[in-house]
Structure 1
Amino acid sequence: MIEARAVVVRSDATSVWVKLSDPVAGCGRCNEPGGCGGARIAHAFGRPSDIFRIDNTRGFVPGDAVVVSLRDGAALGAALTSYGIPTAGALLGVIVATWLGGETSAWLGLVAGLLMSYGVMRRVAQRRGWRQQFSLSIRADGAACPHPRVQP
């Protein structure tokens, strides 16, 4: 489980908005010799948002300390799907077009493969089960306050 501590900043009857209190910054060696600078790449187009909307299933209110979780393998699955399907479509389009018509048609095959991949990705993304595996879950952060919260 990938977990991060957060604080509830806003809530309503169905949702909470949480702000990460310890945003992940990579290995911490960005400014040291041998560091890859991976955390700086994430900020190339502006600071990423550290506020997320999550279903409020437990009645959290602003100020509550929580832990936000993402299922193991969800990030890898998203990356493999997002990059794998278009790459496979492009390669398949180029291979088939080259086999059928030579080098000039390879470009058309590339475009056709990418367009088909786009259609496949849209269908995959519309499947409810596929989207649910990437949903964040939330629980109270027991380390922040040792006292159980009393529900009225």
Structure 2
Amino acid sequence: MMTDAWGTITAVDGQYAYLRMDESGCGRCRQQGGCGGNHLGPLWCGPPRTFRVLNPDHCDVGAHVQVTVAEGSLGRSALYAYTFPLLALFAGALSGSACGGEAGAIGGAMGGLLVGWLGLRRAQRQSQHDPRLQISIRS
């Protein structure tokens, strides 16, 4: 099963298309089990975002297309984005506290957050080339 949303092609560059997403959520807001994020998206998100995705069907500019992401990839990404930095923060704070009291805990927590951020950046670079995790246009 896939997570779907709708977008409009704003430009075409060879085998890639630039998509402007029509919704800020995943498109499941009105369905059973949807999180309702589409209603909260405009509060935190600016103008619609544009993404560069493969265009295997060579759709033209202005085409309204369905965009899909593999089921579970969004949940896994959110889990990693929240838990990894939090665990790194706690580990840094605990180890810093053991070495240097309160000041060590603060420094360790900051170091842990830095390690968490660097780890997420590394994972993001590695996953960029995994075709199972890429946004695609569904024909």
Interval of TM-score (by shorter of Structure 1 and Structure 2): 0.7 to 0.9
Paired position in structure 2 for 1:57: 56
**Contact 1:97 1:106 survives alignment (8 Å):** yes
Secondary structure at 2:134's aligned position in 1? Answer: coil
Amino acid at match of 2:40: I
Q: TM-score, normalised by structure 1?
A: 0.69
- Secondary structure class of the residue paired with 2:59: coil
The aligned length equals 131
The RMSD of aligned alpha carbons is: 2.8
Q: 1:91: how far off? A: 0.1
Q: State the 1:41 CA deviation.
A: 3.2
* CA deviation vs aligned residue, 1:50-94 (integer Å, no higher than 9, x gap): 543321222212344432101111111111111111101100011
Q: Secondary structure at the match of 1:102?
A: helix
Give % identity: 24
1:8 is the counterpart of 2:9? yes
Matched, 1:26 2:29: yes
The one-letter code of the counterpart of 2:52 is: R
Hey, what does 2:71 align to over in structure 1?
A: 72
Q: Which has the larger radius of gyration?
A: 1
List alignment gaps of at least 5 residues for structure 1: 29-35, 141-152
Q: What per-residue deviation string (whole Å, max 9, x for no partner) do you get for residues 13-48 of structure 1? A: 2212334456648349xxxxxxx9854532224544
What is the CA–CA distance in structure 1 between the aligned matches of 2:47 and 2:55, rounded to whole Å?
A: 23
Check conservation: 1:42, 1:48, Cα contact below 8 A: no
Q: TM-score, normalised by structure 2?
A: 0.74
Contact 2:5 2:67 in 1 (8 A): yes
**C-alpha distance 96-61 of structure 1, shift in aligned 2 (>3 A):** same
Q: What SS does the corresponding residue of 2:58 show, helix, strand or coil?
A: coil
**Greater fraction of residues in helix:** 2
Distance 2:38 2:13 in 1: 33
How far is 1:123 from its partner? 1.9
Distance change (3 Å), C-alpha of 1:22 and 1:37: closer
Residue 88 of structure 2: aligned partner:
89
